[in-house]
A = this chain, B = another copy of it.
Amino acid sequence: MKLITRDTDYAVRILCYLSGKKERTVVVEMVRELKIPAAFLRRIAQRLSKAGILTSAKGFNGGFILSAKPRDIRLLDVAEIFQGSFSLNDCLFKRRICPDRKTCFLRRQILDIEKYVLEKFTSLTVGDILAGGSIDGQKKNNQDRRE
């Protein structure tokens, strides 16, 4: 069972790291801290930037910075960049496999489960992850005391 891929995981780490920064941060610095292969990290940052989650600047004092507050960045938004849409509308089986859809109970059950996952991914934010992780796991789901 693999709900998130490596890209998504790395992306979350990048976002968590940048949450502690007031200024733009350069790829080489992130690499130093996060131990993610440089070229890979760079591409991930670029994709986050293209998606609007990071804001970038080229040139001399360039780098990346969060476009929004951590609590406003949902895991879903990040995951969809790297793993494609989590939407429930597209059929479970992408190409014409489900012959009698109307009675496909299994499909409905799977969709229910996916709906649950979707809700969780929607409600969980980078802010939550920061809060939960930094206090050594004693606090959960309370993001209001952290900017």
Binds B, one of A2-10, A19-27, A45-53: A2-10
**Chain A residues near B (Cβ < 8 Å):** 1-4, 6, 9, 12, 35, 75, 83, 86, 92-93, 97, 99, 102-106, 108-110, 112-114, 116-118, 120, 124, 128-129, 131-134, 136-137, 140
- In the complex the two chains form, is A110's CB within 8 Å of B35's CB? no
- In the complex the two chains form, is A128's CB within 8 Å of B110's CB? no
A6: chain B residues within 8 A (beta carbon):
93, 97
- In the complex the two chains form, is B106's CB within 8 Å of A133's CB? yes
A-B interface, 7 closest residue pairs, ranked by CB to CB distance from nearest = A105-B132, A105-B133, A103-B133, A106-B129, A113-B120, A105-B129, A1-B86
